[in-house]
């Protein structure tokens, strides 16, 4: 018999796998933090000056961090630090203006494996590489985006360190950005508290209640570390996830069904929690990118209404097209429900964009047929750029990196393959910025000027 026969054997297999993968996920921890390299031409284009101006600027401003030199071809290049310093010196603001709000983008479809996380993660790096302050919210309990951005879910990250407390209203209705931000001090308190609770749990069980200090420690533990964390990229902050976040959907559903009110909007409040949090984040970030989980439910509705732009990845396979059809029906039902409950009180709905994914370079006849079908359904709501199946993406992901983070660093990866994937993300990011972000900021600016 091939199956695991009893619960002990089953648990043994699961334990070996879970601890083995935890070690595996640490392989890249100690490697130097590679990041995007900008050629002098790129720096010049991004700063809207000539190439020679860049050299002049560095001669005239010794206070700037000197450009770096690639050992293999002796060419000068800059990093995100150089770009940030140049932007400050030249008074260039790539993001929103002081009084404008950032743009929230949910990457979401309940269909599993449709490149949601890959899209979110690689776009975040692209936006951040352009100097845009980006906050990634990981909503998926599988927490792949968290892993890619440098944290180990379920070890470093516990439920209280995710968005859970804010989503479920544990911190009250008023959300405070400073309370949300991770601090080393809070981390030290929580580490100490978790160690105390663990020590008591592992101690002899004499049936007595927890002593006062353990009780206090578990309260500190449950408050968490603050959920907005810095990442290796200076322009990306992360609200991480872990398995414990899975419980949030259930809590929100209980709150909706158990709400002690007849007022429909208050009753639906739990559908808009993420939207409220994101509303605050948009005052502090240019882009808020949300990585959805592969299921619908209360969290799904939250993801949809938190978004200014909802990007629905759809792969060119029959099953994916059918799943997107089902998702569309779910969205219709929910939007109609919210409209009915709110009595047309102006709940804003997101701008919808479909992103074709998983297409191979050598398109098969079946893929071409699917692509045509998706485009005929989605019309101009379908983005022109496609998130293709790319070896460069999987090569970079095996190092917990986005292609542009290791390109064109001289390592043993096939350079052209990684470069090609990096170009793909740059193009998708550009299209989204042009269609969904810049016009929104421009409209805001025009309204202010004419006021």
Residues from 134 through 173 that contact Mg ion (CB under 5 A): 140
Q: Which residues of 314-326 are buried (b: 16+ CB within 10 A; e: fewer)?
A: bbbbeebbebbee
DSSP state of 176: -
C-beta of 131: minimal distance to ligand ATP in Å?
24
Which of Mg ion, ligand ATP, none lies near 118, with the C-beta cut-off 5 to 8 A by kind?
A: ligand ATP
> In a 3-state reduction of DSSP, which class is residue 312?
strand
Assess 116 for contact with Mg ion (CB under 5 A). yes
Are the C-beta atoms of 269 and 259 separated by less than 8 Å? yes
Q: Which is nearer to ligand ATP, 142 or 220 (CB)?
A: 142
Q: Which is nearer to ligand ATP, 100 or 140 (CB)?
A: 140
Closest-CA residue to 227 (of 281, 174, 270): 281
Shortest distance in whole angstroms from residue 155 CB to Mg ion:
19
Task: Outline where 243-364 has alpha helix (H).
Answer: 247-258, 264-267, 273-281, 297-306, 318-342
Rounded Cα distance between 156 and 143, Å, is: 12
**Least distance in angstroms from the C-beta of 1 to ligand ATP:** 31
Nearest distance in Å: CB 450, ligand ATP: 42
Give the binding site for ligand ATP (CB under 6 A): 112-118, 140, 142, 144, 294, 387, 389-390, 393-394, 397
Cβ distance to Mg ion smaller for residue 114 or 158 = 114
How many H-runs (helices) and E-runs (strands) does the chain carry?
Answer: 20, 10
Region label for 193, one of left (φ > 0), alpha (ψ between -120 and 50) or beta (otherwise):
alpha
Q: How far is the CB of 405 from ligand ATP (least distance, A)?
A: 15
Show Cβ contacts of residue 206 under 8 Å, excluding neighbours closer than 6 positions.
none
Q: Give the C-alpha separation, 272 to 89, whole Å.
A: 40
Token couple for 48: 């809207």
Minimum gap (Å) between residue 18 Cβ and ligand ATP: 18
Cα atoms in the 13 Å half-sphere on the side-chain side of 378: 25
Task: Decide if 121 contacts 402 (C-beta within 8 A).
Answer: yes
Nearer to ligand ATP, 115 or 305 (CB): 115
Residue 112 or residue 172: which is nearer to Mg ion going by CB?
A: 112
Residue 394's binding partner, choosing from ligand ATP, Mg ion, none, with beta-carbon cut-off 5 to 8 A by kind? ligand ATP
Residue nearest to Mg ion (CB): 117
Nearer to Mg ion, 117 or 231 (CB): 117
* Min dist. Cβ of residue 394 to ligand ATP (A): 5
Of 112 and 172, the one with the shorter C-beta distance to ligand ATP is 112
Write down the least CB distance from residue 247 to ligand ATP, Å. Answer: 18
List the single partner that 114 binds among Mg ion, ligand ATP, none, CB under 5 to 8 Å by kind.
ligand ATP
Which listed option, Mg ion, ligand ATP, none, makes contact with residue 129 (CB within 5 to 8 Å by class)? Answer: none
Binding-site size for Mg ion (CB under 5 A) equals 3
Q: Which is nearer to Mg ion, 140 or 237 (CB)?
A: 140
Torsion of CA 148, 146, 11, 164, to 10 degrees: -170
Query: Of 106, 117, 129, 196, which lies in the binding site for Mg ion, with binding defined by CB under 5 A?
Result: 117
Cα dihedral across residues 220, 226, 227, 230: positive or negative? negative
Measured CA to CA, the distance from residue 111 to residue 327 in angstroms comes to 8
Residues lying near Mg ion in the complex (CB under 5 A) are found at 116-117, 140
């Amino acid at each position: 018999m091939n199956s695991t026969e009893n619960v002990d054997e089953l648990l043994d297999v699961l334990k070996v796998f879970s601890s083995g993968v935890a070690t595996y996920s640490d392989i890249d921890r100690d490697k130097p933090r590679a990041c995007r390299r900008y050629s002098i031409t790129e720096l010049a284009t991004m700063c809207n000056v000539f190439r020679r101006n860049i050299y002049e600027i560095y001669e005239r401003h010794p206070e700037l961090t000197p450009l770096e030199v690639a050992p293999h071809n002796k060419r000068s290049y800059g990093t995100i630090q150089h770009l940030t310093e140049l932007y400050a010196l030249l008074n260039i603001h790539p993001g929103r203006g002081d009084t404008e709000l950032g743009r929230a983008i949910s990457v979401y479809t309940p269909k599993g494996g449709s490149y949601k996380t890959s899209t979110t993660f690689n776009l975040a790096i692209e936006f951040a590489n352009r100097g845009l302050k980006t906050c990634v919210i990981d909503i998926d309990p599988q927490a792949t985006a968290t892993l890619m951005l440098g944290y180990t879910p379920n070890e470093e990250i516990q439920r209280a360190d995710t968005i859970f407390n804010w989503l479920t209203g544990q911190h009250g209705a008023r959300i405070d950005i400073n309370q949300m931000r991770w601090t080393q001090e809070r981390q030290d308190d929580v580490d100490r508290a978790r160690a105390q609770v663990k020590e008591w749990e592992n101690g002899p069980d004499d049936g007595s209640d927890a002593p006062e200090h353990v009780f206090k420690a578990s309260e500190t533990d449950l408050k968490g570390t603050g959920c907005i964390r810095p990442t290796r990229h200076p322009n990306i902050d992360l609200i991480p996830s872990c398995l414990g976040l899975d419980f949030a959907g259930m809590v929100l559903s209980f709150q909706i069904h158990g709400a002690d009110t007849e007022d429909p909007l208050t009753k639906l409040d739990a559908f808009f929690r993420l939207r409220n949090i994101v509303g605050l984040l948009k005052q502090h970030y240019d882009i808020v990118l949300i990585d959805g989980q592969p299921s619908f439910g209360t969290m799904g509705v939250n993801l949809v209404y938190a978004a200014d732009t909802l990007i629905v990845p759809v792969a060119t396979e029959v099953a994916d097209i059918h799943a997107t059809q089902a998702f569309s029906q779910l969205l219709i039902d929910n939007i109609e429900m919210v409209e009915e409950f709110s009595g047309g009180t102006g709940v804003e709905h997101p701008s919808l964009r479909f992103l074709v994914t998983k297409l191979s370079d050598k398109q098969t006849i079946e893929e071409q047929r699917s692509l045509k079908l998706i485009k005929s359904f989605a019309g101009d709501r379908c983005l022109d750029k496609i998130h293709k199946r790319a070896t460069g993406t999987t090569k970079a992901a095996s190092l917990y990196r986005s292609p542009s983070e290791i390109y064109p660093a001289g390592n043993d990866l096939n350079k052209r393959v990684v470069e090609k994937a990096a170009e793909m993300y740059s193009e998708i990011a550009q299209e989204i910025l042009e269609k969904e972000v810049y016009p929104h900021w421009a409209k805001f600016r025009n309204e202010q000027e004419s006021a």
